[in-house]
């Protein structure tokens, strides 16, 4: 039997080894992909819940400020327009609720008569939109978060309500400014909680945007009021109008890396679109996958330390068996050749003896 025939007989062993290696690598790859997908999904769900928690806290904060301004206009102190008493009341409000950047009262003409900022007293705000809206409509007004002189240049929400007399006559307004920086403390608190759970290796970013998509709070570049995420096509910003909360994998607009972003929309107060905000909390996908990849790398090294020697031993045994089988076949062939040779020699000897006997018989 030729070497080629023998190699062909053992080719199925090499095919089996190759198939075993391919199947092992394929299953490992599928398992790794599934594990990474579940890891990203679990992180996204955590980010989504964090964003929702922030949105609910913001809703509670803005509702409280909305109720505060309506409570103030019903207080006798403001209806009687006792300037000293109003200033004391406003100062008490700011000490009880440090969220206020500015609190003021105007008379019916729009002149500020009481304020937490004494420099504001006497200034005319009759041309301000918030004053005109409340005077003309007679209902509380909430204006979009923006920078203004009254908020000392900070981005702030404006809450304004009308002071009415006993005959429902317009006496003026109470107006407040709540800085977004105060609201940002809520975001930072939730992010700090996540950071404590996940460790400092995972960088967490957050952004707060208004209904239009303008950034009003940013943890990284402080780009408040300068960029619009919806206009830039950020998927998470566009999803805010479609779902209350969720998560999405997307590309970071500035760093161009894959990130996982949890998003949530505030409920706000019906009829006040200024309070319809979006909360975005994101982490780099690479940071999410690093721990599992490091673990799998260590596991793979341990597996390789066991598998590679085992595979090497299997290959060596296969070659040894193949070589011994080949030697056995060669020995078998040699024995058969010797047997044939002996038979030929025996027949030849027999013919010689028979010939010699015939010759002897004839000679007698």
Tens digit of pLDDT for each residue in 30-50? 877 778 788 889 999 999 999
Same domain? For 39 and 102 the reply is no
Number of structural domains found in the chain = 2
Q: Where is mean pLDDT largest: 8-12, 124-128, 186-190?
A: 124-128
Interatomic CA distance for residues 359 and 286, integer angstroms = 103
* Residue partners of 132: CB distance under 8 A and separation at least 6: 126
Same domain? For 69 and 168 the reply is yes
Least confident residue range of 108-112, 266-270, 311-315: 311-315
Same domain? For 56 and 188 the reply is yes
Return the pLDDT at 254. 86
Q: Check whether 355 has a pLDDT greater than 70.
A: yes
Return the pLDDT at 72. 92
The structure tokens listed for 157 are 């929400």
Torsion of CA 176, 181, 183, 186, to 10 degrees: -150
Return the pLDDT at 334. 72
Same domain? For 226 and 78 the reply is no
Residue range 287-314: mean pLDDT, rounded: 68
The structure tokens listed for 180 are 């977004």
Q: Which domain holds residue 36?
A: 24-61+183-287
Question: Higher confidence at residue 359 or residue 93?
Answer: 93
| Per-residue CA distances from 210 to 175, 224, 269, 331 (Å) | 21, 11, 14, 89
Return the pLDDT at 153. 85
Bridge partners of 246?
263
Same domain? For 196 and 145 the reply is no
Q: Check whether 18 has a pLDDT greater than 80.
A: no
| Per-residue CA distances from 215 to 227, 286, 291, 358 (Å) | 6, 25, 32, 125
* Residue partners of 17: CB distance under 8 A and separation at least 6: 311, 314, 315, 318
Q: Check whether 94 has a pLDDT greater than 70.
A: yes
Residue 321 counted as domain residue: no
> For the domain that residue 42 is a member of, what is the CATH number?
3.30.450.20
CA 251, 253, 254, 259 dihedral sign is negative
Q: Check whether 1 has a pLDDT greater than 60.
A: no
Range list of β-strands (E), the chain: 100-107, 112-115, 141-147, 155-164, 170-179, 204-209, 215-218, 245-251, 258-265, 278-284
The structure tokens listed for 26 are 């394929």
End position of a domain, from candidates 227, 254, 287: 287
The tally of CA atoms less than 13 A away on the side-chain side of residue 159 is 24
Interatomic CA distance for residues 143 and 80, integer angstroms = 27
Same domain? For 110 and 70 the reply is yes
Return the pLDDT at 37. 84
Query: Residue 298's pLDDT band (boundaries 50, 70, 90)?
Result: low
Same domain? For 139 and 203 the reply is no
Return the pLDDT at 11. 65
End position of a domain, from candidates 234, 268, 287: 287
Same domain? For 165 and 203 the reply is no
Same domain? For 163 and 81 the reply is yes
Average pLDDT, the chain: 83
Q: Sheet containing 258-265: give its strands across.
A: 215-218, 204-209, 278-284, 258-265, 245-251
Residue 281 counted as domain residue: yes
Burial (CB count within 10 angstroms: exposed 0-12, middle 13-18, buried 19+), residue 51:
buried
Same domain? For 52 and 192 the reply is yes
**How many CB atoms lie under 10 A from the CB of residue 17?**
14
Return the pLDDT at 248. 95
Torsion of CA 108, 109, 115, 118, to 10 degrees: -150
* Residue partners of 70: CB distance under 8 A and separation at least 6: 140, 161
Give the model confidence (pLDDT) of 202-257 as tens digits: 889 999 998 889 998 888 776 666 789 999 999 999 998 788 899 999 999 888 89
Same domain? For 40 and 91 the reply is no
**How many CB atoms lie under 10 A from the CB of residue 58?**
21
Q: Check whether 326 has a pLDDT greater than 90.
A: no
End position of a domain, from candidates 153, 179, 205: 179
Residue range 326-345: mean pLDDT, rounded: 70
Residue range 164-184: mean pLDDT, rounded: 90
Same domain? For 75 and 99 the reply is yes
Residue 190 counted as domain residue: yes
Least confident residue range of 58-72, 146-160, 275-289, 315-329: 315-329
- Cβ-contact 131, 110 below 8 angstroms: yes
Residue 18 counted as domain residue: no
- DSSP assignment of 208-232: EE-TT-BEEEESSS--TTT-BTTTT
- Cβ-contact 279, 59 below 8 angstroms: no
Residue 16 counted as domain residue: no
Interatomic CA distance for residues 281 and 305, integer angstroms = 41
Residue 313 counted as domain residue: no
CA 42, 48, 50, 56 dihedral sign is negative
- Cβ-contact 120, 151 below 8 angstroms: no
| Per-residue CA distances from 335 to 4, 109, 328, 343, 346 (Å) | 21, 126, 10, 12, 16
């Amino acid at each position: 039997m030729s070497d080629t025939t023998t190699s062909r007989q053992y080719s199925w062993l090499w095919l089996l080894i190759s198939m075993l290696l391919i199947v092992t690598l394929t299953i490992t790859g599928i398992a790794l992909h599934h594990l990474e997908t579940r890891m990203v999904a679990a992180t996204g769900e955590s980010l989504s819940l964090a964003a929702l928690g922030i949105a609910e806290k913001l809703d509670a904060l803005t509702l409280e400020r909305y109720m505060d301004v309506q409570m103030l206009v019903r207080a006798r102190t403001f209806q009687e327009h006792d300037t000293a008493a109003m200033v004391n009341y406003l100062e008490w409000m700011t000490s009880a609720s440090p969220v206020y950047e500015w609190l003021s009262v105007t008379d019916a003409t729009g002149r500020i008569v009481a304020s937490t900022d004494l420099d504001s007293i006497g200034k005319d705000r009759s041309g301000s939109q918030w004053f005109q809206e409340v005077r003309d409509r007679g209902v509380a007004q909430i204006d979009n978060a923006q920078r203004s002189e009254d908020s000392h240049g900070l981005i702030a929400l404006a809450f304004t309500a009308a002071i009415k007399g006993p005959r429902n006559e317009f006496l003026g307004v109470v107006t407040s400014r709540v800085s977004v920086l105060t609201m940002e403390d809520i975001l930072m608190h939730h992010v700090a909680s996540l950071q404590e759970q996940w460790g400092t290796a995972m960088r967490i970013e957050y952004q707060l945007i208004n209904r239009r998509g303008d950034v009003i709070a940013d943890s990284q570049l402080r780009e408040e009021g300068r960029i619009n995420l919806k206009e830039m096509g950020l998927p998470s910003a566009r999803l805010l109008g479609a779902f209350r909360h969720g998560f999405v994998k997307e590309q970071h607009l500035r760093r161009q890396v894959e990130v996982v972003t949890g998003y949530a929309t505030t409920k706000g107060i019906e009829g006040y679109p200024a309070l319809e905000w979006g909360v975005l909390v994101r982490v780099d996908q690479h940071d999410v996958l690093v721990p599992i990849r490091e673990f799998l790398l260590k596991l793979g090294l341990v597996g390789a330390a066991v598998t590679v020697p085992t595979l090497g031993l299997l290959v060596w045994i296969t070659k040894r068996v193949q070589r011994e089988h080949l030697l056995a076949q060669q020995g078998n062939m040699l024995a058969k050749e010797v047997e044939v040779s002996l038979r030929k020699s025996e027949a030849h000897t027999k013919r010689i003896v028979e010939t010699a006997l015939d010759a002897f018989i004839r000679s007698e």
